[in-house]
Amino acid sequence: MNTQKPEQRTIKYFDYSDILRYIEEKYKLITYIPEENKDFWRWLIDTYDVHNGCYINFAVTEKAIEEMDIPDYVKEVIALIEKEFEDYIDEYGRICFHIWW
C-alpha cells in the first residue's frame, strides 16, 4: 500500500466586507436602503449558506447566475464585482469570499 499523507491546502479568497466597501465607495453605491426594500446583505444570506467564519463561492458571471432569481439592485452589485475582480473569477464564474462578524 502506497498511502500518501495529505498536504495542507490554501484557500484564496477575498474578505466580503472589503469587497463590498470597495464597490460602495468607488461607485458611490448604497447597498442597504430599507425603505426601498434593497438589502444586499439580506439577499446574500437568504441565497447562500452564510454563517460566521464561512467561505462562499459567490457567483458573478452571467452563466453562473443565469438560473438564479436575482433582483436588479443585486445584479448591479454583482456586475461591478465581476468588472473589478474579473482576474480572480474561477472557471465556474465564482469568486471566493470569507464572511465573518
Q: What CA–CA distance (Å, rounded) separates 37 from 46?
A: 14
Q: What CA–CA distance (Å, rounded) separates 66 from 37?
A: 23
Residue 57 lies in a domain: yes
pLDDT of 57 strictly over 90? yes
Residue 8 lies in a domain: no
Q: What CA–CA distance (Å, rounded) separates 39 from 11?
A: 28
Residue 7 lies in a domain: no
pLDDT of residue 28: 97
- The residue whose grid cell reads 480572480 is 88
Distances (CA, A) of 25 to 7, 21, 33, 69, 76: 39, 6, 16, 26, 14
Residue 6 lies in a domain: no
Work out how many domains the chain is built from and give that number.
Answer: 1
The pLDDT mean for the chain works out to 95
Residue 26 lies in a domain: yes
pLDDT of 15 strictly over 80? yes
Domain of residue 52, residue span:
14-99
* pTM of model > 0.85: yes
Measured in whole angstroms, the distance separating CA 39 from the mean position of its chain's CA atoms is 14
